[in-house]
Amino acid sequence: MFNEVKSAMQKPTRKYTYREVDESEVISALEDLFVIRPQTLRNICKHFVDELTLGLKEDGHTLKMIPSYVANRPTGKETGSYLALDLGGTNFRVCEVYLEGDSKVRLTQKKFSIPDYAKCGQSDVLFDFLAESVLAFITENNIPTESDIPLGFTFSFPVKQTAIDKGYLINWTKGFDCKDTINKDVVELLNEALARKNVKVHVSALVNDTVGTLMSHAYNDPGTMVGVILGTGTNAAYVEKVSAIPKWEGGPVESGEMIINCEWGAFDNERVVLPFNKYDQMMDEGSNNKGEQTFEKMISGLYLGEIVRQVIVELIQRRVLFGGISSPEIETPYKFETAYMSRIERDHTSDLIDTKMVLQELLNIPYPAPRDRRIVRRICELVGTRAARLAAVGVAAVVTKMNRVDSGCTVAIDGSVYEHYPHFANRMKDALHELLGMFEENVSLQLGKDGSSVGAGVIAALA
């Protein structure tokens, strides 16, 4: 009787049954799909430069190349206190930016989480939520409101900007989908919401996060000519000569320069040169913007974990991983987070204990064998490395378009993927060396932390 009870209490064990596929054979097949050779990098870069040029010529091309109406870079001597609202992804920030001069900045900020109902509901729901958050920040920090406070609004989605404080939404990205906002002026929507909530704040500048990152870093380093975001989404902005923007209709610009918002996440939506494989296609099919933002889907934090999940699920279905045993978690779209990839790539233990914990505790895979852990880790490496190399192609293309390969420049990069993903910066540098040779040393990649927020304050000051 005791033995029967003991037997019933024992946790049942599952015997894994693998198809006879060698581990190296599995990895080799995946490498064929994900590894980008130097010549392919160069081909993509050449096409990228051509697309940048086309977008500057006229509207209607894949790269929107939007003039930002920011025509002056900071000197580092600007002073004053400004508010900034930074809406760029899952979270957003409200900040007080205090410019002290001498390239010094003080920043007070608070992060807010956007609820799903606000991300995909009516526009007034989203903008009222933003206004309420601004009010909460002002109240909490005892910011005086005797007169309207100028606010720089960092809005990291494609807009048709027609003035420094006016821009019409073209389309949502990064999981947002407030359909009634399309073709509306987002500055007006925020100002109306602030008025509804009796908040004495007025939007004085509309800023893309990449433009903000560039301007923030330029406040400290005047050699900064490019701003890049590598986080939930991705984009770039750079300093262009007005004479090289045939579609510019805004009249003479005293500085002769204009910061251009590339909206490079849409690069190669036509799928001409990017190595968009079957797993990318599976991820794209399940996304809420199928066929769009092709470049972004291959390099940004919102999608990298999902690509890894698609690979794992297919290998499970073929019974070459985990003996064909799945779990509800691994079958759920976007459940494999990009943060898990970072944790797995940091796992340098001989038997990949941390990888085992991610798979068992977070994804409920009952017993991932050492072979399985090695395969999963290699999948993460392949997807992460490809992302970094493609990001480097974008940087190389922009620097080439600016004719700054010889003279060089600083590239300010903000975003969680660049800052926190293991080896991402070094992998970008390696790819830049393959693309630019010895001139790679002329391109300085610098972390521009909190750049989009500070940059909004800097632009509000210049405005």
User: Which amino acid appears at position 172 of this protein?
Assistant: W
For residue 130, give the H/E element and its range.
helix 123-140
Task: DSSP for 406-424, please give it.
Answer: TT-EEEEEESHHHHHSTTH
Say how many C-beta atoms besides its own lie within 10 A of residue 38's C-beta.
Answer: 12
Burial label for 25, CB within 10 Å (0-12, 13-18, 19+), is exposed
Q: Sort strands 201-207 and 257-261 into parallel, antiparallel or unpaired.
A: unpaired
Give the whole-angstrom CA distance, residue 336 versus residue 316.
Answer: 15
Cα end-to-end distance, the chain, whole Å: 84
C-alpha dist (Å) from residue 199 to 85, 194, 216: 14, 5, 26
C-alpha–C-alpha distance, residues 234 and 415, integer Å: 8
**66 with 266: CB under 8 angstroms?**
no
- 77, 425 in Cβ contact below 8 A? no
Q: What is the DSSP pairing of strand 201-207 with strand 66-67?
A: unpaired
Cα distance between residue 25 and residue 95, in whole Å: 51
- Choose the catalytic residue: 209, 280, 284, 347: 209
Query: Which two structure tokens, joined as six digits, stand for 322?
Result: 């985990």
Is the distance from CB of 435 to CB of 133 less than 8 angstroms?
A: no
**What value does the CA radius of gyration of the chain take, rounded to a whole number of Å?**
24
User: What angle in degrees, to the nearest 10, is found between the helix axes of 301-317 and 370-401?
Assistant: 140
Whether 241 is a known active-site residue: answer no
The answer to whether residue 174 is catalytic is yes
Is the CB of residue 202 less than 8 Å from the CB of residue 150? yes
Q: Among 86, 128, 165, 174, which one carries the catalytic annotation?
A: 174
Catalytic residues: 174, 209
